[in-house]
Amino acid sequence: MRTIIDTGFFYALSDIKDQHHQKALNFIKSPDFSVDRSFFTTSLVINETYTLKMYRSKGNIAQLKLLDELFWGKGKFARIIFPSFEEFKKIAEVMQTYSSPSKMLSFVDASLIFFGKQLEIDEILSFDHHFDGIFRRIQ
């Protein structure tokens, strides 16, 4: 099974004060985490997670070290996809396809949809409802 991961999941996992922290922690401790599952995310998600962590921690560099472990250290569990120039253009098209005045999609979220479809992924680790109907959401 293939699963793509959104920013909110990584952030919740790294911040005990986040409202979804316990849900994220429970998932990685559950049997569902290790059952024949491949995890993916994009470099854009990593960028967004570091930026969010820096902003919310008010520049606390020690908080970034938690992400270092999650993305680059022994705790790493997701393969990182780095979009090419051509893929950036296609992600922009996905953003336009899935966005409307009542449902605005970020470029980062569009990258998850684009690569999710490319890799035939049917589920996402996310707390965001805007993926509903596109992927089965694990929350």
Domain ranges of the chain: 2-138
How does pLDDT run along the chain (139 residues), one tens digit per residue?
899 999 999 999 999 999 999 999 999 988 878 767 899 999 999 999 999 999 998 988 888 888 998 899 888 899 999 999 999 999 999 999 988 888 888 999 999 999 999 999 989 999 998 898 899 998 7
Which tokens is 39 given? 């995890």
- Write down the H helix ranges in 39-128: 43-56, 61-72, 85-98, 107-118
pTM: 0.91
Fold of 2-138: Rossmann fold (3.40.50)
Is 110:94 a contact under the CB 8 Å cutoff? yes
Amino acid at 37: R
Which tokens is 5 given? 């991961």
d(CA 122, CA 69): 27
